[in-house]
Structure 1
Amino acid sequence: MRLLFSIGAVLVSGVLAGGDVASIAAPGPKSGPSKFESSRQRQAADGDAQSVDVELILAVDVSYSMDMDELAIQREGYAQAIQSKEFLQALKAGPAGRIAVTYFEWAASNDQKIIIPWRLIDGPETADAVAAEIMKTPIRRASRTSISGAIGFAMPLFDEDPYHGLRRVIDISGDGPNNNGGPVTLARDAALEKGIVINGLPIMVKEPSYSTMDIDNLDYYYEDCVIGGPGSFVIAIKGREKFKEAIRTKLLMEVAGRTPDRPVVHVADKDKEPRVSCTIGEKIWSDRWGR
Structure 2
Amino acid sequence: MNLVRCLAFSVVLAPPAAACDLALALAVDVSGSVDSGEFRIQMDGLAAGLRDPIVSEALVRAQAKLMLVQWTGASRQQVTIPWTRISSFDVLETFAETVATDQRVWRNFSTAIGEALETTMASFDEVPDCKRHLIDLSGDGVSNEGIEPSRLHRALRARGITVNAIAIEESEPDLTAYFFENVIVGEGAFVVSAARFRDYPERIRKKLLREVTQQTAKLQ
Deviates more, 1:77-86 or 1:148-157: 77-86
Aligned to 2:131: 166
Q: Which amino acid aligns with 1:166?
A: K
Q: 1:221 to 1:60 in 2, by over 3 A?
A: same
Describe the superposition over 1:145-180 as per-residue Cα deviations: whole angstroms up to 9, x where unpaired: 11000011011111123x622210011111111111
Counterpart Cα distance in 1 of 2:83 and 2:139: 21
**Contact 2:18-2:63 at 8 Å conserved across structures:** no
Give unpaired runs (5+ residues) of structure 2.
1-14, 216-220
Aligned to 1:200: 165
Describe the superposition over 1:32-55 as per-residue Cα deviations: whole angstroms up to 9, x where unpaired: xxxxxxxxxxxxxxx863621210
**Contact 1:99-1:255 at 8 Å conserved across structures:** no
Number of positions where the alignment pairs a residue of Structure 1 with one of Structure 2: 200
Residue 237 of structure 1 deviates from its aligned partner by 0.7
Aligned to 2:17: 49
**Contact 1:52-1:165 at 8 Å conserved across structures:** yes
Counterpart Cα distance in 2 of 1:178 and 1:188: 15
Aligned to 1:225: 182
Counterpart Cα distance in 1 of 2:33 and 2:198: 18
- Compute the TM-score of the two structures, normalised by the length of structure 1: 0.65
Aligned to 1:142: 108
User: Out of 173, 179, 196, which is 2:144 matched to?
Assistant: 179
Aligned to 1:288: none
- Compute the TM-score of the two structures, normalised by the length of structure 2: 0.84
Aligned to 1:188: 153
**Contact 2:58-2:213 at 8 Å conserved across structures:** yes
The aligned runs of 1:61-72 (5 Å cut-off) are 61-72=29-40
Counterpart Cα distance in 1 of 2:54 and 2:192: 18
Q: 1:152 to 1:83 in 2, by over 3 A?
A: same
Higher relative contact order (CA 8 A, sep 6+): 1
Describe the superposition over 1:152-209 as per-residue Cα deviations: whole angstroms up to 9, x where unpaired: 1011111123x62221001111111111111211112321221110101111123xxx
Give unpaired runs (5+ residues) of structure 1.
1-46, 207-214, 259-291
Q: 1:233 to 1:48 in 2, by over 3 A?
A: farther
Counterpart Cα distance in 2 of 1:172 and 1:91: 18
**Contact 1:55-1:164 at 8 Å conserved across structures:** no
Aligned to 1:76: 44
**Contact 1:177-1:218 at 8 Å conserved across structures:** yes
User: Out of 230, 247, 250, which is 2:207 matched to?
Assistant: 250
Counterpart Cα distance in 2 of 1:88 and 1:135: 16
SS in 1 for 2:78: strand
Aligned to 1:15: none
Q: Which has the higher helix share?
A: 2
User: Out of 83, 106, 120, which is 2:85 matched to?
Assistant: 120
Counterpart Cα distance in 2 of 1:109 and 1:130: 27
